[in-house]
């Protein structure tokens, strides 16, 4: 159906997972501090680690779980278990909204892949605790989970009181899972409330996305629709659009609410049909960098080179994974459209342009991601979450074509 031979598919998967195996084994040779979770690489080629309360901590053990899922090598299961266990303190992460990223990418995969029921129960109890922590940032009156605490915007003129970012959608999967294992609908109901309010206020009429929406604490009124990591308030930050594609697809899976499927499809269609999406389908970090009608409110002078706008492989990997799931919920014509675009993204990421050579790139798999261009942070760098969604997409691809 998808016009690809099993041989080509197997060769790409084998090559990419063999590289993942080698790279992360090399990285682990230098990573002995179980309180520091690899996130990226500095300019000297050294791995940069973060603590348990950084939003990216769960991706490192998550990568190991995916390598184990493909290889069935018990060595990887043992390593994934060790680094997952090291994250347990994250169950109390309430300084920001990202507990779903931190705990579900690690403990969710652990619970899914572990065969020992006693260990699964331990993992589930930690996820239940994590979900309770997540709900402490939910305001029933506003209907959304608060992303950051009070924070100033780039221009310094706006103080966000109750900011909610599109990334926050990704934390809802853990809440849906905990409702399933406990039978308590409160967690899923919060996820649905948050998703509906996000759908209402984060999408523009063309289904591009705002990064940040700020709410009035008393009235619930939308005060600001802006950006923090994109080019401008009215531009489309590519990874933010990816969060929307992936997470609204996931919310449809968990609820079968057609509104979420429509949102996912519209967000995906905006992304895939955008005239500024490169032929290899790996996006620039923002779709509207330097374009007429888009004005950065951060100090962009001298930093924008229109002949070399950085790509974001993390967005490409994320969208590929989201599209592969989305392709399973739509009619045959749409299925082929979403699947073939995801396949192109994986083939591009599997090329020498984006795939690291063994022993390089700090041990990470993918090159050319962007953390936050406005902050001049992790620009054209490897990122652990790019690797995570790349491997997840490869596993989804394998299941789709086999």
For 297, other C-beta atoms within 10 Å of its C-beta total: 17
> CA-CA distances (angstroms) from residue 175 to 59, 86, 184, 264, 312?
18, 22, 10, 19, 28
* Cross-strand bridge partners of residue 145: 138
d(CA 91, CA 98): 11
Per-residue CA distances from 311 to 100, 189, 277, 285, 397 (Å): 26, 37, 10, 5, 23
CA dihedral of residues 152, 208, 229, 158 (deg, nearest 10): -10
75's tokens? 């060595």
Evaluate whether 366 touches 317 at the Cβ level (below 8 Å): yes
Q: Output the DSSP codes for 331-347.
A: -HHHHHHHHHHHHHHHH
The whole-angstrom separation of Cα 105 and Cα 108 is 6
DSSP string, 13-58: HHHHHHHHHHHHHHHHTT---TT-EEEEE-TTSPEEEE-TTSTTTT
Q: How far apart are CA 238 and CA 224, in angstroms?
A: 20
Q: Which residues pair with 224 in a beta bridge?
A: 214
Cα gap 153→151, rounded to integer Å: 7
Instruction: Please identify every residue annotated as catalytic.
Output: 98, 167
């Amino acid at each position: 159906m998808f016009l690809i031979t099993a041989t080509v598919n197997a060769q790409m998967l084998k090559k990419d997972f063999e590289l993942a195996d080698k790279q992360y084994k090399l990285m682990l040779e230098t990573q002995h501090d179980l309180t520091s979770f690899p996130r990226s690489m500095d300019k000297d080629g050294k791995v940069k680690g973060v603590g348990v309360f950084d939003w990216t901590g769960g991706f490192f053990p998550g990568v190991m779980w995916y390598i184990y899922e493909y290889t069935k090598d018990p060595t990887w299961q043992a390593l994934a278990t060790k680094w997952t266990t090291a994250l347990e303190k994250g169950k109390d992460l309430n300084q920001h909204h990202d507990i779903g990223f931190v705990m579900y990418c690690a403990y969710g995969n652990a619970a899914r892949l572990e065969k020992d029921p006693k260990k699964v129960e331990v993992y589930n109890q930690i996820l239940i605790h994590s979900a309770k922590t997540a709900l402490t940032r939910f305001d029933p009156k506003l209907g959304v989970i608060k992303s950051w605490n009070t924070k100033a915007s780039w221009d310094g003129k706006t103080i966000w009181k109750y900011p909610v970012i599109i990334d926050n959608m990704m934390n809802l999967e853990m809440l849906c899972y905990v409702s399933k294992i406990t039978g308590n609908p409160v967690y899923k109901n919060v996820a649905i409330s948050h998703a509906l309010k996000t759908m209402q206020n984060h999408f523009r009429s063309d289904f591009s996305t705002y990064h940040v929406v700020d709410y009035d604490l008393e009235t619930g009124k939308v005060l600001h629709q802006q950006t923090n990591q994109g080019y401008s308030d009215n531009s489309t930050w590519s990874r933010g659009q990816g969060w929307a594609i992936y997470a609204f697809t996931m919310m449809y899976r968990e609820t079968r609410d057609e509104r979420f499927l429509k949102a996912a499809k519209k967000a995906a269609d905006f992304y895939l049909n955008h005239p500024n999406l490169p032929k290899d389908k790996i996006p620039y970090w923002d779709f509207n960098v330097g374009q007429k009608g888009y004005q950065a409110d951060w100090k962009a002078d001298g930093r924008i080179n229109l002949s070399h706008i950085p790509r974001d492989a993390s967005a490409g990997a994320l969208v590929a994974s989201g599209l592969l799931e989305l392709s399973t919920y739509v009619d045959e014509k749409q299925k082929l459209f979403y699947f073939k675009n995801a396949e192109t993204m994986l083939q591009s990421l599997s090329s020498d342009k984006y795939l690291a050579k063994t022993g390089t790139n700090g041990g990470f798999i993918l090159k050319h991601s962007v953390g936050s261009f406005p902050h001049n942070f992790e620009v054209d760098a490897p990122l652990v979450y790019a690797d995570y969604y790349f491997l997840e997409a490869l596993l989804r691809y394998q299941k789709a074509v086999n």
